[in-house]
Amino acid sequence: MSRRRGLVLFDIDGTILVGGDRHHGAAFTRAFEAVYNKPVTLDGVPLAGMLDSQIARILFERHGLNAGEAEQRLAEMMAAMGQHYVEATAGASLRDRLLPGVTEAVLAAHEQGWTVGALTGNGQAVGEAKLRAVGLDTLITFGAWGDSAIERGHLVDAALDEAVRATGLRFVSHETVLVGDTPADIAAARLGGAHVIAVATGRFDFDALASHNPDALMENLADTSAFVAAVSRILG
């Protein structure tokens, strides 16, 4: 098959996996407490569609930390979170949390000749560990991660750069399709100049996502043919 131009970027929590990974939350709070010496809870923090770095910044403000000083140690905190998560999930499988049709959709994207990556709020070590735990790490080998970006939309440009490093192919935003489950994914695509397919597999139902006008909207990824048709239509 001749290669077809297109970059398809999958979100992880709520799109590839059922959301609510307790090990992720525990790794985050443990790392935050160790680096900033502040006991924290994620209660009341909006998590859906958020970057790990955004969540940390909310906690900086909540706990009265000096934003500039706290920011200087954010990379350290993200690294610690990744280490705790990898240790907590070593050898574990998350296949029971894999959402319907995801593996088939990723495989189909490859078969169509599209380049496939991740775009997620997860810190890199956490996101990569989740992909390994569901056997997708050999199919999704690069991504844009939530370690340090200010807004999710900034990850579109990061993903374009990572695609070059990983594959040698330079894409532009209008050749890019995000697949995600939250209004934040839709907003990120718009901010980054990309297209978006929304799937109602997370905390937002079909109607809630429809109100944000994604380029395509699906209940889930179980219908592989419909997914391929949607991406093909969007990419023209």
Query: Which pLDDT tens digits describe the chain residue by residue (236 residues)?
Result: 445 689 999 999 999 999 989 999 999 999 999 999 999 999 988 888 899 999 999 999 999 999 999 999 999 999 999 999 999 999 889 999 999 999 999 999 999 999 999 999 999 999 999 999 999 999 999 999 999 788 888 999 999 999 999 999 999 999 999 999 999 999 999 999 999 999 999 999 999 999 999 999 999 999 999 999 999 999 99
Q: Say how many C-beta atoms besides its own lie within 10 A of residue 211's C-beta.
A: 10
Among residues 93, 76, 87, 97, the alpha carbon closest in space to that of 201 is found at 97
Distance CA 194, CA 175 (A): 7
pTM for the full model?
A: 0.94
| Cross-sheet strand order for the sheet of 7-10 | 143-144, 115-119, 7-10, 176-180, 195-199, 216-218
